Chain A
Amino acid sequence: MTLRDDKKKLSTWLFNPFLFVGGERILLIGLIIAAVHIPIGYFLNVRFDGAIDMHLVPTDVGLLTPVIDVLIAWLSMAGCMFAAAKIFQSPMRLIDIAGAVLVARIPLLLSIGPVLLLEPDFQSIEELLNLQGSELYQLAALSVISLLFLIWFFVLLFNAFKINSNLKGAKLWFGFIGSAIIAEIISIMIQQAV
């Protein structure tokens, strides 16, 4: 299997670690990543209020909010991907996808670094629209970097679904896009309900 060569490549570990890590190990790593959300949310005032959302908020977040945020995001995404796989009669295991969707959130957590470093100081939309000079470049750089982290997050999420479902072609794309959209809708609805 050429996978032995892939194991030595950094790109495989960055974009598709699910080839090599699964079962209890990926769930344990995933739970550690889930736990990391809590101090980040609490100390840096970050909300993860949606299956694919992350943003800074101006008010104190508290300790319970990031716990609820990550639980809703995790369960909605893992649940929807598991359901999509079962609809297409894929032999996906819940333990694998539950761990994998949490591991896929690493880029979301890392993207907070550039946001904290580069976010220009503005209080209102008018101020944001009137940004000039270095602050404007700062905002443009932040947008590009955030986009790269978002792409990384989606590549990981896609590979998590692909490896664990073993679906191909239209079923793979339909299952992935459908489950990501439905997970986002469900997570936002639960967020509004609690």
Chain B
Amino acid sequence: MENREKQLPVSCPSCGSGLNVKMLGCPECHTEVSGDYDLPVLLRLSKDELGFVLSFVKNSGSLKEMASEMGLSYPTVRNYLNELIEKIDRLEDDSER
């Protein structure tokens, strides 16, 4: 069987709502902590969106450098960033409710 990369599920496969963390485990001593924790906003982003945020930080916020690194035009990168900001605003509004 192919070794597929696991992705953190962030939305409910049944109703589409954002998921919460119910249990955390220590991989060393196998201690388990259970509770009801909200996922941080950044973890609710998709893998590509999170990759974009990391690239933004690593490039010290320079969209010009990101555009050159990603092989995209500056306006495309800026538009993607604007969409991401709108999504983060929506996620923050959802978590405040």
Contact = CB atoms under 8 A, between A and B. Distances in A.
Interface of A: 1, 3, 7, 18-23, 26, 91-93, 96, 163-164, 166
A112 B70 CA distance: 36
**Max chain B Cβ within 10 angstroms of own Cβ: one of A20, A22, A92:** A22
Contacts, number: 45
Contacts of B72: 1, 3, 19-20
A22 B79 contact: no
Contacts of A163: 73, 75-76, 79
A21 B26 CA distance: 47
B76 A22 contact: yes
Nearest to A163: B75
Contacts of B76: 3, 18-20, 22, 163
Given A1-B48, A1-B52, A91 B78 contact: yes
**Max chain A Cβ within 10 angstroms of own Cβ: one of B70, B71, B76:** B76
6 contacts: A1-B80, A7-B71, A19-B73, A23-B64, A93-B74, A166-B79
Contacts of B80: 1
B67 interface: yes
Contact of A166 (B48, B64, B71, B78): B78
Interface string B72-89: 111110111010000000
A20 B72 CA distance: 4
A92 B73 CA distance: 13
Contact of A22 (B48, B52, B67, B82): B67
Contacts of A19: 72-73, 76
Contacts of B71: 7, 20
A73 B86 CA distance: 36
